[in-house]
Structure 1
Amino acid sequence: MLHRFDGPKGLYRGFGISILTYAPSNAVWWASYSVAHKLIWSGIGCSMGKKDESGSIVMGSGFRPDSKALVAVQGLSAAMASGISALITMPLDTIKTRLQVLDREENGVRKPLNILQTVRNLVQEGGLAACYRGLGPRWASMALSATTMITTYEFLKRLSTKSQEQLTS
């Protein structure tokens, strides 16, 4: 449908602003994940220690978390980081979405909005609060995606480490 009105160019509407949205979102997410991860471990009375001779993480208190504890902390850290990232970058995401789907009409011809027009319309509709419409669903989507990604990544990392140890033994 979009292709019929805007041609091939319409398929890429908002691509540039998507890059400008996702890059900061990922940067904030990874920084927040690291901080959340450390805060959770310290909140349960453990500080991250070094790996022992078997490659297992040993907490500063001598506590050796099992895989369920590691996954729980990673998942919670991912969800927290998603919330922080969503909160900080939500205005960019709102602008990106509106650029992709809204048009203006000029002399009976549909034309895409530019960034300045989109921001102006958004502020007129509801000020800064309008930039945060949909924050809950965005956080939920980011949290589910990030939790799946990080726990899978960490699982595969642990699995590959075990495989490497078996190869060298």
Structure 2
Amino acid sequence: MSDMNHSNEDAPPAGTVQQKRNIQIIEWEDLDKRKFYSFGVFITLSIRATVYPATLIRTRLQVQRGKSLYNGTFDAFVKILRAEGVRGLYRGFMVNTFTLISGQAYITTYELVRKYVSKYSDDNTVKSVVAGGLASMVAQSITVPIDVGSQQLMMQGQGEHLSRFRPNAHSEAGKPRRVFGQTRSIVAQIFAADGLPGFYRGALASLLTYIPNSAVWWPFYHFYAEQLSNLAPSGCPHLVLQAMAGPLAAATASTVTNPMDVIRARVQVEGRSSITETFRQLIKEEGFWGMTKGLSARIISSTPTAIVMVVGYESLKKLSLRPELVDSRHW
């Protein structure tokens, strides 16, 4: 939603409606694109604001050594809230909102690739894997520099010892710097230390995390939705089944890709250049359990994200249907 993040938009649209499927798919060509993009931005922003604290907590848990500062997700939440207030849970959020661009890129790429693949295969799993993976690759090319900046801001405050950079605490007039003042300070320090490549630090790790995550999420989403539709009463609304399938798929994808997500966070925050060396050091210091760090926070953040995103995205697509199609099928 990182992308789902980094962007887990539900109910893939492209491709011909398969009569064997219980839950029909609203297709890309069935949508009024102006409505789709206009409503989509507001829905995505609302969702990200809701789950951002869990994302921040996940990042801090993944980067800390052992349990040097936090003992777990709930402990981190309480400590951050007490020491830094609500604003502490939203460090770097304003910078992170720029990932809305990557979210729209993800949606468009997913839909168009799925439509293209449908010309060669009617298999829903094939379309989901290919479109999900390519959509994530496109989105990550935009997201990585934003993530690098926002993650450095996430590490300030109580967890500032975990970051290589420090924003200037005060302006020349002695007044506290505002959000974008700190952002400019961090950006300048990253550029001075690492140059332009510094903003793409961890790009490979991000691709190795989010491409599989997206490729796994979509087919599992459809699988769970279909299985639930077979178990549920015939009159059960599709939206309810999809809302249940979303978090199940998110939990599955998060569990599969969490090891690489831990490595990605450390590479980007600590300024490392080697994925393999980061992996070796993590295993040496914390064992294989270190690969599960932040998993509960990741699932906690991805579960409501998936529910809200699925419901929001499905509702968005129904609202964006071309007028002549509104009553033509049972969506």
TM-score range, shorter chain: 0.7 to 0.9
From 101, 110, 116, the equivalent of 2:269 is: 101
Shift in alpha-carbon separation, 1:166–1:79, aligned structure 2, 3 A? closer
Summarize deviations over 1:71-102 as a string: whole Å, max 9, x none: 32211111110000000010111111111112
* Alignment partners' CA distance in 1, 2:309 and 2:301: 12
CA distance in 1, matches of 2:286, 2:256: 18
Cα pair distance change 1:166/1:7, threshold 3 Å: closer
Count of aligned positions: 140
Evaluate the alpha carbon distance shift between residue 166 and residue 12 of structure 1 in structure 2; reply closer, same or farther with a 3 A threshold. Answer: closer
Could you say which residue in structure 2 is the equivalent of 1:43? 231
1:28-67 equivalences under 5 Å are: 28-44=216-232, 46=233, 63-65=234-236
- Could you list the runs of 5+ residues in structure 1 that have no partner in the other structure? 47-62, 104-111
Q: Which of 117, 124, 127 pairs up with 2:284?
A: 124
CA RMSD of aligned residues (A): 2.2
Percent identical pairs in the alignment equals: 31
Query: Which residue of 2, 9, 27 corresponds with 2:215?
Result: 27
Question: With CA pairs under 8 Å and 6+ residues apart, which has the higher RCO, 1 or 2?
Answer: 2
> Which structure: larger Rg?
1
Structure 1 position 89 matched with structure 2 position 257: yes
Q: Identify, as 1 or 2, the structure richer in strand.
A: 1
Letter in 1 for 2:263: I
The residue correspondences of 1:3-18 to structure 2 (distance < 5 A) are: 3-18=191-206
Report if aligned partners of 2:243, 2:307 keep a CA contact under 8 Å in 1.
Answer: yes
Gaps of 5+ in 2: 1-185
Preserved contact between residue 202 and residue 273 of structure 2 (Cα < 8 Å): no
- Equivalent-residue separation in structure 1 for 2:227 and 2:327 (angstroms): 35
The 1:166/1:137 distance shift into structure 2, 3 A limit, reads: closer
CA apart distance, 1:152: 2.1
3-state DSSP of counterpart to 2:287 = helix
Q: Distance in 1 between matches of 2:295 and 2:326?
A: 46
Structure 1, 83-92 or 16-25: larger mean CA deviation: 16-25
Query: If the length of structure 1 is used for normalisation, what is the TM-score?
Result: 0.72
